[in-house]
A and B are shown apart, each in its own frame.
Chain A
Amino acid sequence: MKQQPISNSGGVAEADEKLMKVQAAISQFKMIQGALIPVLHEIQDIYGYLPEPVLQIVSAELHLPMSEIYGVASFYHFFSLTPKGENVVHVCLGTACYIKGAQGVLDRLSTELKVPVQGTTEDNKFTLEATRCLGACGLAPVMTIGEKVHGRLVPNNIPKILKEYN
């Protein structure tokens, strides 16, 4: 099955390499019951989101209609159908962080980045997301940018932290 390259991937070689990883993931899980969600996890890992052309491959290989795949992919918060920015900012809106002022942190990020929650900046540098408990309640309020955790935040910290990524 031939597919067109997928948005925001690198060169042809990189795109091919990613598709090979997808094929490997599909073969790994194909034989187990309930393969769809593990396969979607792998694809999200590879691309950072679930590109439609790749889901077409999944549909053919797992013999599942696209409607069902879309149903599952859109049900779970963890899966995204649109590409994300270079740095994904997750602001924890768990209860412990909320009580300690996480909403103010989120609002300030939204003002500074000039995007709404779930939006991606024009230069594709940042995607702003609100998330459920990250489990670092001792550091509340908390946000993560990529892998890095920033804790004990007040809105005024935000401009300085964002500068580290520019």
Chain B
Amino acid sequence: MKLLTDLDAIRTLTQGRLDNRKITGESPDSIRFRSVMVCGGTGCTSSDSNQIIAKLNQEIAGHGIQEQVEVVRTGCFGLCELGPVVIVYPEGIFYSRVEVQDIPKLVEAHLLHGKPYEKKIYEKTKQDGETLNFEETEFYKKQVRIALHNCGVIDPENIDEYIGSDGYQALGKVLKTMGRQEVIDTIKQSGLRGRGGGGFNTGLKWEFAAKQDKKQKYVICNADEGDPGAFMDRSILEGNPHSVIEAMAIAGYAIGSSQGFIYVRAEYPIAVQRFVKALAQAREYGLLGDNILGTGFCFNIDVRLGAGAFVCGEETALIHSVEGHRGMPTPKPPFPAVQGLWEQPTIINNVETLANVAQIILKGAAWYAGIGTEKSKGTKVFALGGKVVNTGLVEVPMGITLREVIFEIGGGIPGGKKFKAVQTGGPSGGCLTEEHLDCSIDFDTLTSLGSMMGSGGMIIMDEDTCMVDVARFYLDFTRDESCGKCTPCRIGTKRLLELLDKITEGKGSMEDLEKLENLSVQIKNASLCALGQTAPNPVLSTIKYFREEYMAHIVDKKCPAGVCKSLISYQIDSDLCRGCSLCAKKCPTDAISGEMKEPFVIDTAVCIKCGVCFDVCKFKAVAIV
């Protein structure tokens, strides 16, 4: 078992190593030691970052410079679009889309001779013949990293590095110097609200559970990130797993619990593996288990794997799943804080919520409450995706505008296309338009506009996205994920989907549009849990802001964005076609025919509208009509 003094000793030892991973602005000649950070998040691992690390180590050993270089596999840097990403300190050089075959030259140029390897330097860091450090780029400048603070800086599989960056200091402070109520008051005063979607005050939730006079209570971490297109929780578990463990132990102390569970998606193998490893290390150091830090406090954490059910993000459904049953919600009250897992008082906090806790304890409630807006404190992590230049993970202060996130940090829309909508809150949220771009991002503003904060998915859509099809996509999701317990959600979402299918197939009537609206309101009001209560949001918000697109589908039988297959057909413009036959060769159904060097034609009876001809034509001769 380690004591606080042991942690201090480890911190002193590792701090020197972590100090190397900072941008210093030294002249290249005087640099004696470099840190090469390679992203080991799911995105970059998918594009071979592990092989890059192996090659780096091999080349570095080949040159005999192991003493002057360290290679670290870290969590996500955020800019997934450019993966695999490699960052070299102390210059802060950002390499993007690195491939294994780049490594020998990169090592020789940069690590041996001190000259950055030009070919793979991120374009946006090059300015007037100079290379900026990555923190000066638009993507990073406006970000404030609290929940993601160690991601990309430490090796998540090394507990000493977490301790070196003040890890487990907050737990030590809580156990040694703070009373239970004092911890709860600190979290309450910080204004921290649940990041999983609900936005409930975290300290208040803890207080409800703390007041229950029961011997057994539970702390559950909800890591069943179900919003398709959101991956902040996964990145935190992959990049800084100990921050979640530490926060769960603090929560356990505050409410009087000795047992925690993390409910994590089985579809996240890297996150699960790193978290399990972190648990073992924490147990080995006595930071979990009996008599933590010699204070007499006992706390354990067990892992439960989710099995792919979106509804399990709902608290009561999650509890039933941990109990081994079908994950179906039950009415509240009783709230889980009063009667939860195995009928004992239980708090359920989302991963990102927990990742803020240790920092709040260390830096104080006033510090955290000083960031953000009046009612939404701190920062929020968003997963930017869809039609945006910088796909990836960003953490920004609450109150920032959508425009800043999408156009400054996100770099705007690729390919010179026009922005159409942004979808926040996943299947429970809504689509916002150009007129909302200058609105503040916080819990209450987003809700008042008909969307919601949700867990932090932010999907950008351009002029080529059909909003009716998007609504149909989300309803297909919620219909599939409805647990089936209550009628409004089970049957209502199916009926909504049928109506949307009808409209996207060009068979809709004005009456259907009215039915959509009425049914949506009924489902919202009558469903048992948040899944059903929010499922109609994508329909209602798209009807509200993009009514003319619905009208085009219903009245004109046209899909303005050219997405809905029943309403479009492909044609070859005989003036533009050069008769190269490429489209005919690529057509999977042999629907295109013609003579070489003469205009080709598409047989619409055979065409399956897959769009391959449109994509491959070099002369823009294929048109959607």
Do chains A and B stick together as partners? yes
A34 interface residue (CB < 8 Å to B): yes
A98 interface residue (CB < 8 Å to B): yes
Given known A-B contacts A104-B610, A149-B46, A76 and B309 have beta carbons under 8 A apart: yes
Contact flags B30-49 to A (C-beta < 8 A → 1, else 0)? 00000000000011001100
Given known A-B contacts A78-B267, A100-B387, A140-B385, A36 and B324 have beta carbons under 8 A apart: yes
B304 interface residue (CB < 8 Å to A): yes
A46 interface residue (CB < 8 Å to B): no
In contact, B391 and A138 (Cβ under 8 angstroms): yes
B461 interface residue (CB < 8 Å to A): yes
In contact, B234 and A156 (Cβ under 8 angstroms): no
Alpha-carbon separation in the docked complex, A132 to B229 (Å): 9
Alpha-carbon separation in the docked complex, A38 to B42 (Å): 24
Contact flags B70-84 to A (C-beta < 8 A → 1, else 0)? 000000000111110
Chain A residues with CB below 8 A from B616, complex form: 156
In contact, A37 and B304 (Cβ under 8 angstroms): yes
Alpha-carbon separation in the docked complex, A72 to B309 (Å): 11
In contact, A135 and B42 (Cβ under 8 angstroms): yes
Give the contacts of B247-303 with A (CB-CB under 8 A): 266-268
Count contacts on B: residues with CB < 8 A to the other chain.
58
Given known A-B contacts A76-B307, A133-B228, A95 and B386 have beta carbons under 8 A apart: yes
Q: Residue A135 contacts which of B268, B310, B608 (CB distance < 8 angstroms)?
A: B268
Question: Whole-angstrom distance from the CB of A34 to the nearest CB of chain B?
Answer: 3
Give the contacts of B283-335 with A (CB-CB under 8 A): 304-310, 321-327
Chain A residues with CB below 8 A from B387, complex form: 99-100
Alpha-carbon separation in the docked complex, A111 to B609 (Å): 13
Q: Residue B392 contacts which of A41, A77, A100, A138 (CB distance < 8 angstroms)?
A: A138
B191 interface residue (CB < 8 Å to A): no
In contact, B307 and A77 (Cβ under 8 angstroms): yes
Give the contacts of A68-115 with B (CB-CB under 8 A): 71-72, 75-79, 93-96, 98-100, 104, 107-108, 111-112
Alpha-carbon separation in the docked complex, A77 to B265 (Å): 12
Chain B residues with CB below 8 A from A71, complex form: 326
Give the contacts of B536-592 with A (CB-CB under 8 A): 586, 588
Alpha-carbon separation in the docked complex, A38 to B305 (Å): 7
Question: Whole-angstrom distance from the CB of B535 to the nearest CB of chain A?
Answer: 15
In contact, B588 and A111 (Cβ under 8 angstroms): yes
Contact flags A37-50 to B (C-beta < 8 A → 1, else 0)? 11011000000000
Given known A-B contacts A34-B304, A99-B465, A140-B385, A75 and B43 have beta carbons under 8 A apart: no
In contact, B305 and A37 (Cβ under 8 angstroms): yes
Question: Whole-angstrom distance from the CB of B463 to the nearest CB of chain A?
Answer: 12
Count contacts on A: residues with CB < 8 A to the other chain.
43
Chain B residues with CB below 8 A from A96, complex form: 228-229, 383, 385-386, 391, 459
B619 interface residue (CB < 8 Å to A): no
Given known A-B contacts A34-B322, A96-B385, A156-B586, A136 and B46 have beta carbons under 8 A apart: yes
Given known A-B contacts A37-B324, A156-B612, A95 and B229 have beta carbons under 8 A apart: yes
Q: What total count of A-B pairs have CB within 8 Å?
A: 145
In contact, A95 and B385 (Cβ under 8 angstroms): yes
B426 interface residue (CB < 8 Å to A): yes
Chain B residues with CB below 8 A from A137, complex form: 43, 80, 229, 231, 383, 385, 391
In contact, B459 and A99 (Cβ under 8 angstroms): yes
Alpha-carbon separation in the docked complex, A112 to B625 (Å): 26
Alpha-carbon separation in the docked complex, A82 to B256 (Å): 44
B128 interface residue (CB < 8 Å to A): no
Interface residues of B (CB under 8 A from A): 42-43, 46-47, 79-83, 226-231, 234, 266-268, 304-310, 321-327, 342, 383, 385-387, 391-392, 423, 426, 457, 459, 461, 465, 470, 473-474, 483, 586, 588, 608, 610-612, 615-616
Beyond A107-B610, A138-B79, 8 extra complex contacts between A and B, CB < 8 Å: A34-B323, A40-B307, A78-B306, A96-B383, A96-B385, A98-B228, A151-B46, A155-B610
Interface residues of A (CB under 8 A from B): 33-38, 40-41, 71-72, 75-79, 93-96, 98-100, 104, 107-108, 111-112, 131-140, 142, 149, 151, 154-156
Report 29 cross-chain contacts, Cβ distance below 8 Å, ordered by A residue: A34-B323, A36-B325, A37-B304, A37-B324, A40-B307, A41-B305, A71-B326, A75-B326, A76-B307, A78-B306, A78-B307, A95-B385, A95-B474, A96-B391, A96-B459, A98-B228, A98-B473, A99-B386, A104-B611, A111-B608, A135-B234, A135-B267, A136-B42, A137-B383, A138-B79, A138-B82, A138-B391, A138-B392, A151-B46
